[in-house]
Structure 1
Amino acid sequence: MTEQVKGPRSYFPSIEAKYGKSIEEWIALLRPHAGEKHMEQVAFLKDLGMGHGHANALVHVFRAEFEGAA
C-alpha cells in the first residue's frame, strides 16, 4: 500500500506539472537565496511566475530540508 504524501510536499506534483520544472530545479534556483527570510524566498519564486501557495509550500520544504545543505 502506498503512503499518501501530506503537507507541503503534496503540492510537488502540481508544481512540476504547472511550471514545467522539477522540484530539484526549483531547489537549485532557491539555493542562492538561502539565509533570506521566508517571504523574501516566496517573493523570489513569485517573481518567476509561481503562485503564492505553491511558492510557500516549496520554500517551507526548502528551509526545513535543503537550506544550508551542501
Structure 2
Amino acid sequence: MPENAVKGPASYFPSIEKKYGRPVSEWLEVVRASPLTKHMELVSWLKAEYGLGHGHANALVAHVRAGGW
C-alpha cells in the first residue's frame, strides 16, 4: 500500500460517491443535520432512509464523529 494511501473511513468515499451518485460532502452534511446523536442510530437511519450499505453508512458517521470535514 502506498505511503500516502487514504485509510480509515475516508477510504470508502470514492465508492460511496460512485454507488449513490452524491458527493461525500453532501452525505456528511446529511449526517451533521440529523437530530440523531448516537453512532448506531445514525448508521441505521442512513440505511433505512437512504438505502446506504452498513459499511458506507458507518464510514460517513465515523468520519463526522471524528471531526472530519
Q: TM-score, normalised by structure 1?
A: 0.83
Provide structure 2 residue ranges, at least 5 long, that are not aligned to the other structure. Answer: none
Structure 2 equivalent of residue 44 of structure 1: 45
Structure 2 equivalent of residue 6 of structure 1: 7
Structure 2 equivalent of residue 61 of structure 1: 63
Q: Is the 8 A contact 2:43 2:58 kept in 1?
A: yes
Cα displacement string for residues 1-47 of structure 1 (whole angstroms, at most 9, x for unaligned residues): 87110111100000000000111100111122266100011011102
Q: TM-score, normalised by structure 2?
A: 0.84
Identity of aligned residues (%): 54
Provide structure 1 residue ranges, at least 5 long, that are not aligned to the other structure. Answer: none
Aligned-residue CA RMSD (Å): 2.1
Aligned residues: 67
